[in-house]
Copies of this chain bind each other. A is one copy, B any other.
Amino acid sequence: MEAFSDGILAIVITIMVLKLNMPKDTSIEALREVFPIFLAYVLSYVYVGIYWVNHHHLITAVNKVSGRLLWKNLFWIFWMSLIPMATEWMGLHPFQKLPSLLYGSILFMCSISYIMLQSEVIKINGEDSKISESIGKDRKGKASILMYALSVGFALIFPSISYIMYILVAVMWVVPDTRLEEIIKD
């Protein structure tokens, strides 16, 4: 199940890298032209990285693989699999309303489906298992969902505010996730 989890996110990164095309010629301008696409790649890479680290911790803790868990995992992967396309679209059209909106909506669905997956794991392992305690109220997860919802709203009015929110959520997560580190220490 761990190899499975790693494979999934590797797919998403692979595709994003593939969509990262080289500059069309060897001038500074051509390099500058691909820069927004590169930035969009960095942002999505960080998001996938966050999920990778968290999913790795989550799956390692699973006691028993059930059919429901596999389907919830597949549901989450489905939304993750749409990230590369949304990243490319947003990267090619920076500060445009629809691409910002789509990007935010997909991140929103990723976190909703991740929370569903997380509660399935809690259900399997029991409310008083280590993983349940460490996830706890999952304030970060809920705050992220709220911020994605807000940024989807802003996308149609001020796409740049959405961008700032996408970056804020990423920063909030990269800061070491102490809750999960604790389990490992035990």
**Residues of A that sit less than 8 Å from B by CB:** 2-4, 6-8, 10-15, 17-18, 20-23, 25-28, 31, 42, 45, 49, 52-53, 56-57, 64-68, 70-71, 74, 77-78, 81-82, 84-86, 88-89, 92-93, 96-99, 102, 174, 176-177, 180-181, 184
Of all chain B residues, which has the CB nearest A91? B22
Across the interface, A67 reaches (CB within 8 A) one of B8, B15, B17, B177, namely B177
A7 CA to B102 CA, complexed, in Å: 29
12 sample A-B contacts, Cβ–Cβ < 8 Å, listed by A number: A3-B3, A7-B7, A13-B81, A22-B88, A26-B97, A26-B99, A45-B81, A49-B74, A52-B74, A53-B71, A64-B184, A68-B176
Contact (Cβ within 8 A) A26 B98: yes
Contact (Cβ within 8 A) B184 A17: no
Contact (Cβ within 8 A) B181 A67: yes
Residues in B whose Cβ lies below 8 Å from that of A92 = 22
Residues in B whose Cβ lies below 8 Å from that of A52 = 70, 74
Determine how many copies of this chain the complex contains: 4
Contact (Cβ within 8 A) A98 B14: no
A77 CA to B14 CA, complexed, in Å: 11
